[in-house]
Structure 1
Amino acid sequence: MKRAFILFAFIGLVWACQPEIDNTRSDYVPTPLGLTIPPSLPQVAFPSDNPLTVEGVALGRKLFWDPILSADSTQSCGSCHAPQFAFTDNGLATSTGIRGQNGTRNSMPIMNLMYSTSFFWDGRAQTLHHQALMPIEDPLEMDDQLSNVIQKLEGSSFYPEEFRKAFGTTGITEDRIGLALEQFMLTFISGDSKFDRFMLGTAQLTASEQRGMEIFNGDIENGSSGPAADCFHCHGQSVFSNNKFMNNGLDSALSDLGLFLVSGNEEDKGKFKVPSLRNIELSGPYMHDGRFNTLFEVIDFYDSEVENNSPNLDPNMHGIRLGLNLSQQQKSDLIAFLRTLTDTTFVNNPDFQSPF
């Protein structure tokens, strides 16, 4: 009996030392998906550790729109990221999760994420596939557990086969859920606005839009000859975001500490990620807490309401400490330019809509 026990123990040890078997089916041949970045945008490489495939994007699209990811099956990713609002939350200041729970921050738009190196207003996710998983377990959003979501997907009549098509086996894991969602969201490329066509020489700006662009790019500290709003320092280039974290002087006393909650660094208190201004006409309310309902309110804030005593106020705001002193016409011109950043082809793309 003792010899038999030793024999079985030896066999078990040998088995444990064997390399992990690759259960990927021999007929697993995903279809590579090549995305073309519009010529008006910077060329950039997509993640090499998660190559885009037709099957992976199709799976991510289903997961994005399926409320099965939430605890009570009422909330999908698309519930807070509606295409017609540039993938923000239906005009709400802060997002509403399952059971009507109110979130604490405004839903960020989803587009051109290949340029981002961190995600959320406070940058707490370093990769897009990790970001995609966090709302699932957030008690104010989907309020589920990933282990439970996996069980629900495994019990589905079609998801195991969708995962096989995307990843080679029917195995469903947290990582694969995040990777599929990442693939889908990376296809959200916006670069066909009137501004883009103007930059390519195929469209002309109106006189008001042209004046607004000059105001947008006007540099106060370097003495622009005309009215200047200094927008370009944080929202420059064709991405219209520097993807940094800054305090733009919303409050003198901070109720939300922003990046500090992630980094723990005192100098990060009050800093939030600079969002892109593309499709800004559609994505209100504005700021991390949705406090401004209109673009006019946003411009009024920068014109005369910046809190100069706000902790860690960004140096780029120093030039407007005394106000912009824009006239109503100049504010209207600036908004006219911002509206040229609206990409109707993007928000109406049927490939981004619910497949259900």
Structure 2
Amino acid sequence: MKIKAIVALIISAALSSVAMWLVSSYPPAPKVTVLDNFSAPFVFGKFTVPKENPLTNEGVKLGRRLFYDPILSGSNLIACAHCHKQSRAFTDGLAHSLGESAVPLPFNTPTLANLMWGPQHFFWDGRVPSLEIQALMPITNPDEMNQGLDELVAELQQVEEYRQLFASAYGEISQENIAKALSAFQRSLVSANSRYDQFLAGEIRLTDEEELGRKLFMAHPDVKASLRGGNCIDCHSQFLTGGFDTQYDGFSNNGLDSDEDLLPGLMAVTGKPEHRGLFKVPTLRNIALTAPYMHDGRFKTLEEVLDHYNQGIKLSSTLSPLIIEADNLGQIEQYEPSLNLSGREKKAIIAFLHTLTDEQFITDAKFSNPFKQELKN
């Protein structure tokens, strides 16, 4: 028995030594702090943040610096902010952005506002299921930033400030932690202080024209009830003004093209023919700043957008039924989808859309370029 006890003690001591060696071989986990002054409007609905990537001061600080640093591109000339400018609610004003290759990208640059809500399938066609995956794709795309991830990690490891920032936020510089940092910063980009938000809080009143536009925005036309509407809310949920987050409810075919011209859209992801021509419904927050519009940037102005919904809808096999049935005059023979809004009503809706501009969001220092220099246009 004594021999067994001695052997057990030896084994225990050996295991303890191994455990201590393992602990000493890895740096201690960073002591992170919960993101200061972060608030999420309850009217936007529920949201989730990955447990493995919580919103911390350290992660968001690092992500903000990476977002504005052209070191993320192969040429060291193009940052994420090249296509996502704060003054334009993190869009770029182009129908098709130009990256490293100078080849126009196939889709219009979407806003980064309020990414925690709405359909959690990112890019216009929903091909990415998380912000963490999305964050790295523009970096490696040869037409966008054209940067190898191994090369990027090596470059960042040569910069003392990045060694310190990564150590504080995640422990080490890695592809995974680059994605976490960029995603954390993007999740912090909450826009919720527009005139519309102030109206909802009872702080201001809308003008008569804006109020008419708001009522039209919120109403689905009902001829039998003599209710006129702009049919906007059917796709753009009321407070977030973006697509719904249930499954693929946040994607729609809004009548831009007939069957012969429909792009795959969501079908490229799901493989389902009924998803052909469906694209992600964007938030309308700061919409007056994010022209041109639609996934391909085909409309230059909000007036053109209203003209499309009013009298420009093209029939196709996957056209949203919410658009087909929305008419302020009622269906007639030889029917073509049309809201039949008056000029006054279209103008009022556009006036309301301007109340969604959040001046604080586009000037907030905590979202701005940390290098304190203007990016070249």
Instruction: Report if TM-score (shorter chain) is over 0.5.
Output: yes
Which shifted more, 80-89 or 35-44? 35-44
Q: What is the rounded CA distance, in whole Å, between the counterparts of 1:351 and 1:110 in structure 2?
A: 15
| 1:218/1:224 contact within 8 Å kept | no
Picking from 254, 266, 275, the partner of 2:282 is 275
What does the per-residue CA deviation read over 1:75-96, in whole Å, with 9 as the maximum and x for residues that have no partner?
A: 111100001111011x100111
What does the per-residue CA deviation read over 1:154-191, in whole Å, with 9 as the maximum and x for residues that have no partner?
A: 122321111101113xx311110000011111110011
| 2:198/2:204 contact within 8 Å kept | yes
Q: What is the CA-CA distance between 1:242 and the residue it aligns to?
A: 2.3
Paired amino acid for 2:70: P
| 2:265/2:276 contact within 8 Å kept | yes
Q: What is the CA-CA distance between 1:54 and the residue it aligns to?
A: 0.8
Picking from 295, 314, 325, the partner of 1:319 is 325
Q: Could you say if the C-alpha distance between residues 69 and 210 of structure 1 is closer, same or farther in structure 2, counting changes exceeding 3 Å?
A: same
Q: Could you say if the C-alpha distance between residues 27 and 172 of structure 1 is closer, same or farther in structure 2, counting changes exceeding 3 Å?
A: closer
Please state whether the residue corresponding to 1:121 is helix, strand or coil: coil
Q: What are structure 1's unaligned runs of at least 5 residues?
A: 1-13
Residue 236, structure 1, aligned to residue 242, structure 2: no
Q: What is the rounded CA distance, in whole Å, between the counterparts of 2:123 and 2:222 in structure 1?
A: 31
**Mapping of 1:128-139 within 5 angstroms?**
128-139=131-142
| 2:254/2:319 contact within 8 Å kept | yes
Q: What is the CA-CA distance between 1:21 and the residue it aligns to?
A: 4.2
Q: Could you say if the C-alpha distance between residues 259 and 39 of structure 1 is closer, same or farther in structure 2, counting changes exceeding 3 Å?
A: closer
Please state whether the residue corresponding to 1:58 is helix, strand or coil: helix
| 2:221/2:227 contact within 8 Å kept | no
Please state whether the residue corresponding to 1:302 is helix, strand or coil: helix
Q: What is the rounded CA distance, in whole Å, between the counterparts of 1:306 and 1:142 in structure 2?
A: 36
What does the per-residue CA deviation read over 1:16-49, in whole Å, with 9 as the maximum and x for residues that have no partner?
A: xx88946554483112215211354335343322
What does the per-residue CA deviation read over 1:270-326, in whole Å, with 9 as the maximum and x for residues that have no partner?
A: 110000011101001000000000000000000001002x23111111124431111
Q: What is the rounded CA distance, in whole Å, between the counterparts of 1:239 and 1:179 in structure 2?
A: 24
Aligned residue pairs total 337
Picking from 286, 289, 307, the partner of 2:296 is 289
Which shifted more, 172-181 or 45-54? 45-54
What does the per-residue CA deviation read over 1:223-275, in whole Å, with 9 as the maximum and x for residues that have no partner?
A: 45343111110012211112411111100133531111222221111110000
Root-mean-square deviation over aligned CA pairs: 2.1
Picking from 129, 154, 157, the partner of 2:160 is 157
Residue 107, structure 1, aligned to residue 113, structure 2: no
Picking from 322, 338, 351, the partner of 1:336 is 351
- Corresponding residue for residue 175 of structure 2: 174
Picking from 122, 127, 130, the partner of 2:130 is 127
Please state whether the residue corresponding to 1:72 is helix, strand or coil: coil
Please state whether the residue corresponding to 2:160 is helix, strand or coil: coil
| 1:270/1:311 contact within 8 Å kept | no
- Corresponding residue for residue 246 of structure 1: 252
Q: What is the rounded CA distance, in whole Å, between the counterparts of 2:71 and 2:173 in structure 1?
A: 14
User: TM (normalized to structure 1)?
Assistant: 0.89
Please state whether the residue corresponding to 1:44 is helix, strand or coil: coil
User: TM (normalized to structure 2)?
Assistant: 0.85
Which shifted more, 145-154 or 103-112? 145-154
Q: What are structure 2's unaligned runs of at least 5 residues?
A: 1-13, 245-249, 327-335, 372-377
What is the percentage of aligned positions where both structures have the same residue?
40
Q: What is the rounded CA distance, in whole Å, between the counterparts of 1:339 and 1:330 in structure 2?
A: 14
- Corresponding residue for residue 4 of structure 1: none
| 1:40/1:200 contact within 8 Å kept | no
Residue 49, structure 1, aligned to residue 52, structure 2: yes
Please state whether the residue corresponding to 1:119 is helix, strand or coil: coil
